Amino acid sequence: MRTDDFDFHLPDKLIAQFPAMPRDSSRLLEVKPGHLHDRKCRDLPALLKRGDLLVLNNTKVIPTRLHGLRGAVRIEVTLHTKLSRDRWLAFARPGRRLKIGDNIQFGDQFSADVLEKRKGGEILLQIITSLSNSMQAIYDQGEVPLPPYIRRRDGQLKSDSASYQTIYAKEEGAVAAPTAGFHFTEDLFNALAKAGINRTFLTLHVGAGTFLPIKSENVEDHRMQGETGILNQDTAELINSTRNAGGRVIAVGSTSLRLLESAAAPDGTVSCFDDQTDLFISPGYRFKIVDLFFTNFHLPRSTLFLLVSAFSGTERIKSAYTHAIENEYRFFSYGDCCLLHPNDAT
């Protein structure tokens, strides 16, 4: 498959710069075989059935974007992979100004030495701090790493640290948010519970590569970065009992879906999981466990757009995205959402 086949034009004005307020007031496009329905996220309880199960990702975003100085040169660093207690892989801008052995000063008690330079502006850093641990230093000095399409003329707003986080974020480790979860509020959770719809949580620490466009000419040549996922025994048993009782499993977001599929056997039975996953889902993939998919509207040429195409069918997704653009749905992290039915639904 050619990556160009998964490209589309999106007007800049449809890229959401701020979340809907309240969060569950966002628009929802229900994508069913032969039908598209314009709804609100608050309608979700009426679109599901008693006994269904929502599976959400409770990872918490670390404030890994740092602003520092190498001498008089300003350097922006985004930490993306923790290798050990004090060593991180990171992206740096401008990376070309850095050399091995350089020290980047982030604060009076916090700096980092450049140990290696790698391709694509990636560097290996050794954190140096007089504080009790490097994570404390990162939290003191860092910002949440907003995606580049969310623009802030005068720097991040105080509200971004809360907005770019789900209300149920718990397990620290992500460098990007599981953005489908942004739409959920306590009111929506209460309405879902009242309708007999259950929820459970897994953890997949979202990495920097999740939202990147595919750069290879052919889809098959793309490789996903590994991400750490945890699905415990209680969650596995709840998922299996839901399926056995005739309920449906609804993945909230691409990260939840990928971890569910990584933890599922060919017959759909889910086992506990504590490992890395680099599962790349593209059209032709046979889904094992996920019955419905709640997700945002994604970037062209991205692994996420291929994933939704795999789940609901490429032509159906292209039709849905055309409808969304024509009706000015809001796209990407702070944008609107959709509820996708599978390609083989009848």
Residue 75 forms beta bridges with which residues? Answer: 68
Q: Is 222 found in the same domain as 126?
A: no
CA neighbours within 13 Å on the CB side: how many for 243? Answer: 18
Alpha carbons 142 and 136: distance in angstroms, whole number: 10
Q: Write out 163-220 in H/E/C secondary structure.
A: HCCCCCCCEEEECCCCHHHHHCCHHHHHHHHHCCCEEEEEEECCCHHHHCECCCCEHH
Q: What percent of the chain clears pLDDT 90, i.e. is strictly above it? A: 85
| pLDDT 10s digits, 316-330 | 999 999 999 999 999
Alpha carbons 39 and 116: distance in angstroms, whole number: 50
Alpha carbons 102 and 209: distance in angstroms, whole number: 26
- Write down the pLDDT at residue 224: 80
User: In this structure, is residue 148 part of a structural domain?
Assistant: no
Q: Is 69 found in the same domain as 53?
A: no
Whole domain around residue 112: which residue ranges?
A: 65-143
Q: Is 119 found in the same domain as 46?
A: no
Structure confidence at residue 120 as a pLDDT band (50, 70, 90): confident
CATH of the domain at 84: 2.40.10.240
- Write down the pLDDT at residue 346: 36
Q: What is the mean pLDDT of residues 301-307?
A: 94
φ/ψ (deg, to 5) at 218: -110, 135
| pLDDT 10s digits, 151-208 | 988 778 889 999 999 999 999 999 999 999 999 999 999 999 999 999 999 999 998 7
User: In this structure, is residue 224 part of a structural domain?
Assistant: yes
Q: Is 138 found in the same domain as 109?
A: yes
Both tokens of 319, joined, read 């039709």
Q: Is 43 found in the same domain as 84?
A: no
- Write down the pLDDT at residue 212: 65
Higher-pLDDT residue of 284, 209: 284
Q: Are 243 and 235 in contact (CB under 8 A)?
A: no
- Write down the pLDDT at residue 306: 95
Q: Is 93 found in the same domain as 43?
A: no
Q: Is 199 found in the same domain as 179?
A: yes
User: In this structure, is residue 153 part of a structural domain?
Assistant: no
User: In this structure, is residue 49 part of a structural domain?
Assistant: yes
User: In this structure, is residue 292 part of a structural domain?
Assistant: yes
| pLDDT 10s digits, 241-291 | 999 999 999 999 999 999 999 999 999 999 999 999 999 999 999 999 999
User: In this structure, is residue 75 part of a structural domain?
Assistant: yes
Alpha carbons 295 and 313: distance in angstroms, whole number: 15
Tally of domains within the chain: 2
- Altogether, the residues listed in the chain come to a count of 346
* End position of a domain, from candidates 111, 143, 175: 143
Q: Is 112 found in the same domain as 72?
A: yes
Q: Is 211 found in the same domain as 95?
A: no
User: In this structure, is residue 159 part of a structural domain?
Assistant: no
- Write down the pLDDT at residue 6: 92
User: In this structure, is residue 204 part of a structural domain?
Assistant: yes
| pLDDT 10s digits, 23-55 | 999 999 999 999 999 999 999 999 999 999 999
Q: What is the mean pLDDT of the chain?
A: 94
Can you give the pTM of this predicted structure? 0.94
Alpha carbons 105 and 264: distance in angstroms, whole number: 45
- Write down the pLDDT at residue 211: 57
Structure confidence at residue 218 as a pLDDT band (50, 70, 90): confident
Q: Is 292 found in the same domain as 174?
A: yes
Q: Is 316 found in the same domain as 186?
A: yes
CATH of the domain at 274: 3.40.1780.10
Q: Are 263 and 238 in contact (CB under 8 A)?
A: no
pLDDT at residue 305 tops 80: yes
Q: Is 264 found in the same domain as 130?
A: no
